[in-house]
């Protein structure tokens, strides 16, 4: 869903470009943005990639102290978390963890039953 919206946006915007112009979707800009993003991710490796996606928008945006203050005062954290859950969903890391937990519990139960028997 988000992927299709992003691809559609980049396709539309690419038609407005001029020769030798660096657009947001251009290779040079993508490499720069992803380079900076990877540095951020390295510092936050345990929290996963998905939770950092909103930072990419901050990397390519012009932000001011006033703008950040207004955003923090205007949009409650609960609303951001609800949007995140609805739009991005669980990260791959969270899905893997959820998939492994039931098997670990059932293995522990089997081990306990084997010990009793």
Q: Is the pLDDT of residue 73 over 90?
A: yes
User: Domain coordinates of the chain in residue numbers?
Assistant: 1-13+23-61
Q: What is the pLDDT of residue 104?
A: 55
Give 107-116 pLDDT, tens digit per residue. Answer: 555 555 555 5
| Cβ pair 38, 53 in contact under 8 A | no
Q: What is the average pLDDT value for the chain, to the nearest integer? A: 77
- Give me the half-sphere count of Cα atoms (radius 13 Å) on the Cβ side of residue 78: 0
How far is it, in rounded angstroms, from Cα 25 to Cα 73?
31
How far is it, in rounded angstroms, from Cα 28 to Cα 35?
11
Q: Quick one: which of 6, 3, 101, 98 has its CA closest to 48? A: 98
pTM: 0.43
Q: Is the pLDDT of residue 5 over 80?
A: yes
């Amino acid at each position: 869903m988000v992927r299709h919206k992003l691809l559609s946006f980049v396709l539309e915007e690419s038609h407005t470009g001029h020769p030798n112009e660096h657009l947001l979707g251009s290779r040079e800009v993508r490499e720069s943005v992803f380079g900076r993003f990877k540095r951020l991710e390295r510092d936050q490796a345990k929290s996963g990639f998905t939770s950092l996606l909103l930072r990419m928008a901050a990397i390519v945006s012009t932000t001011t102290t006033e703008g950040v203050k207004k955003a923090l005062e205007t949009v409650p954290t609960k609303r951001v978390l609800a949007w995140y859950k609805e739009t991005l969903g669980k990260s791959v890391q969270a899905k893997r963890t959820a998939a492994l937990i039931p098997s670990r519990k059932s293995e522990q139960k089997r081990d306990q039953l084997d010990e009793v028997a």
